[in-house]
Chains A and B, each alone.
Chain A
Amino acid sequence: MSKPSLAVWKLASCDGCQLTLLDCEDELLTLAGEVTIAHFLEASSATAPGPYDISLVEGSVTTARDEQRIRQIRQESRMLVTIGACATAGGIQALRNFGDTAEFASAVYASPQYIDTLATSTPVAAHVPVDFELRGCPIDRRQLLEVLTALLVGRKPDIPDTSVCTECKRQGHTCVMVAEGTPCLGPVTHAGCGALCPAQSRGCYGCFGPVTGANVPALLPQLRTCGMGEDAIGRVFATFNAAAPAFQEQHCPGAAPRGEAPS
């Protein structure tokens, strides 16, 4: 039997999630022995045509060309996994969904007419069916290896849909919110990072996006008690997962749901 093929694709993003694959220094050559890397342009100039057994997609859809491209990738992929906050929730560039994109372009570029961009930044799932969504800005290396291992042996990835608090407790960190009065999004944020921020005496800032069923309104009084004003609360939810519905509701209530243009 031939080895399964792996393809890695990039839309609008920072490269950090693909880099996480290359950051698997101990496992990279072993992994390369288990799969045929058929398309991974950041790492290789050799490419093979589809279909692909597993496609990893980094980045959000922000151009008409990428709208087409993600459909093509879906057609050519048996399993499609989004990696990271951009591909899974639209990324920080989804802040344009709540502003005036034409004005944004003119703020950065002197001749915005040269710029080809959509008014929205949308997650891959707004365009095509996705088999698995891996969260994080960036994704966690161990979680990426778990997803790849699971898909290669044909089982469900063991990626708990729980909050950062559960990881934080398990690691024995002192709660920064209770002990220090530091605002922390741990109770509403998807686990997976390993509670990195509390380990550095910092509150979680939500880079893995909301956990399923996040009860954000219940956290707000605690954030206020910790000294956050309404503006600061709005901003902390308007970052790397700004267009994830549970977070979007906190900084732009009543806006169009994920994946739909606000116009």
Chain B
Amino acid sequence: MTHRDRKLTVSGIARVEGEGALRVTVRDGQVERAELNIYEPPRFFEAFLRGRSYTEPPDITARICGICPVAYQTSACNAIEQACGAELTEPLAELRRLLYCGEWVSSHALHIYLLHAPDFLGYPDAVALAQDHRDIVERGLELKKTGNAILELVGGRAVHPVNVRLGGFYRVPTRAELAPLAERLRRALDMALDTVRWAATLDFPDLELEHDLLAACDPGRYPIERGTLRTTSGLAFPAREFPSHVVENQVPHSTALHAALDGHRYLTGPLARYTLNSGSLSPVARQAAAEAGLGAQCRNPFRSILVRGVEIVYAVEEALRIIGAYQRPDRPFVDVPPRAGTGHGVSEAPRGLLYHRYELDGDGLIRAATIIPPTSQNLAAIEYDLRRVIGANLDRDDASLTALCERTIRNHDPCISCAAHFLSLTVRTG
């Protein structure tokens, strides 16, 4: 038997928010190991949240991720409001959804155009892509800017919004302030539809995955800022039962914890949201999806770029709907008086379900905090995808296989927020 070692080293896995190394071992034609090492320096948020005031997590946990701070703020608010027995009035809940739509549009446009598109079109980055296809990149930047405009108007700032507090907002915008946003959003809707049409022309490698899929569900509408949990395997449970289903395990090769659902691998994110909720999309978004060739489900991670495009269409429409119906609330927030107890909150970050749990004492000081980000829930599924993709493409040369591995990781828009990004891939075949 011939033993052959293939060592591939890529100086950087680019266009993801995270630093990782990938170790792959292939023996006798079987992928023996495919580990994504995460080198994110730990920042210990859950530890130093203890002893803080219950009003602080929206600002503090936003700093976990500069790409999806609204997701952190919202899951934190949902959990603490639940612990304190507070409920937002409908207009405030709608405004929270509007803010979150801004993050979806901005984050998805970033991923589609600046991080993911270069993979499909064979460029190292969007700047190089713009030299040949400036219109494509400019459309992406304009969409991203529109998402940021929502974040800035409603949240006060695009990265780490300042206007979010327990129970709502510090200040709520007037109808007149929102009106110019609607103008921009109408233009963005056309760009979003063009995004889906353009993405449908890309070539997608074949891959169908049988992961169990987990997403929030919100009756009558596509889940964004709240919901209860459902899986494609038939489970349905509220956020407070999340800890009895999802367990995080530490693995030696990662500073990110790996999560399992009732002991098995699962995936959260756009594919899960779409597969579990495509029937709740707006007619325009549903039609865009159908024209792009998406059925009621999507289980090919390479086609996640299409789902993100459809979700931009939906988020822009939702933003327009909310602005159109907006009546300025009398008060910018509802009172959230502290009380002893435990609260659980979920929301759908652009890259997947984000769970927060807080245990409070009677004075509103935090006794314990648990945060389970989407990427740690998805790591086991990403590694499984890698094994499948490598196993099906062992005939490729090192460079081509490595590039495919990077694409496989990028499909899930992992948000690892870490030090310099590098992937060193070692493939051993024997």
Contact = CB atoms under 8 A, between A and B. Distances in A.
A66 B171 CA distance: 41
Contacts of B156: 196-197, 199-200
Contacts of B233: none
B159 A10 contact: no
Given A25-B142, A41-B12, A93-B43, A20 B159 contact: yes
B252 interface: yes
Nearest to B126: A43
Contact of A117 (B13, B42, B130, B257): B42
Chain A interface bracket (under 10, 10 to 19, 20 to 34, 35 or more): 35 or more
Interface stretch (B45-53, B269-277, B297-305): B45-53
A182 to B, nearest CB: 9
Interface string A22-37: 1101101100100001
Contacts of B41: 11-12, 62-63, 66, 93, 117
A243 interface: no
Contacts of A201: 170-171, 332
B137 A29 contact: yes
Interface residues of B, number: 72
Residue of B39, B43, B47, B163 with highest tally of chain A CB at under 10 A: B43
Contacts of B162: 196-197, 200, 202, 205
Interface in B123-177: 124-128, 130, 134, 137-138, 141-142, 144-145, 148, 156-160, 162-163, 165, 169-171
Interface string B24-49: 00000000000000010111111110
Residue of B13, B148, B255 with highest tally of chain A CB at under 10 A: B255
Interface stretch (A106-114, A149-157, A216-224): A106-114
Given A10-B418, A200-B163, A42 B15 contact: yes
A159 interface: no
Contacts of A82: none
Nearest to A107: B47
A93 B157 CA distance: 22
A14 B64 contact: yes
B420 A12 contact: no
Contacts of A46: 14, 124-125, 128
B15 A43 contact: yes
Contact of A107 (B44, B130, B137, B417): B44
A107 B42 CA distance: 12
Nearest to A139: B159
B359 interface: no
A174 interface: no
Interface in A192-243: 193, 196-197, 199-202, 205, 207, 232, 235, 239-240
Majority secondary structure, B binding face: loop
A111 B42 CA distance: 13
Contacts of B124: 44-46
Contacts of B15: 41-45
Interface in A92-131: 92-93, 95-96, 99, 101, 103-105, 107-111, 114-115, 117
A54 interface: no
Contact of A200 (B45, B130, B170): B170
Contacts of B415: 15
Contact of A45 (B125, B148, B165, B255): B125
Nearest to B370: A108
Given A29-B127, A44-B14, A207 B420 contact: no
A59 interface: yes
Nearest to B69: A16
B134 A29 contact: yes
A202 B43 contact: no
B201 interface: no
B60 interface: yes
B421 interface: yes
A186 interface: no
B86 interface: no
A42 B14 contact: yes
A15 B420 CA distance: 11
A44 B417 contact: no
Given A9-B420, A41-B12, A109-B250, A104 B171 contact: no
B160 A41 contact: no
A234 to B, nearest CB: 10
A104 B420 contact: no
A11 B39 CA distance: 11
A138 interface: yes
A191 interface: no
A63 B418 CA distance: 12
A47 interface: yes
B102 to A, nearest CB: 13
A105 B158 contact: no
A19 interface: yes
A10 B12 contact: no
Nearest to A32: B127
Nearest to B421: A41
Contacts of A199: 156
B419 interface: yes
A185 interface: no
A193 B159 CA distance: 12
A111 B251 CA distance: 9
3 A-B pairs with the lowest CB-CB distances in the bound complex, closest first: A16-B66, A44-B125, A46-B124
15 contacts: A15-B67, A16-B67, A19-B110, A25-B142, A25-B144, A26-B141, A32-B127, A46-B124, A47-B11, A63-B41, A66-B419, A103-B47, A114-B255, A196-B156, A200-B156
Interface of B: 11-17, 19, 39, 41-48, 50, 52-53, 56, 59-60, 63-67, 69, 110, 114-115, 118, 124-128, 130, 134, 137-138, 141-142, 144-145, 148, 156-160, 162-163, 165, 169-171, 249-250, 252, 255, 257, 332, 406, 415, 417-422
Given A15-B66, A32-B130, 18 more contacts: A10-B418, A11-B419, A19-B67, A19-B159, A23-B158, A25-B142, A42-B15, A42-B16, A43-B127, A44-B125, A47-B12, A62-B43, A93-B44, A138-B66, A196-B162, A200-B156, A202-B163, A240-B63
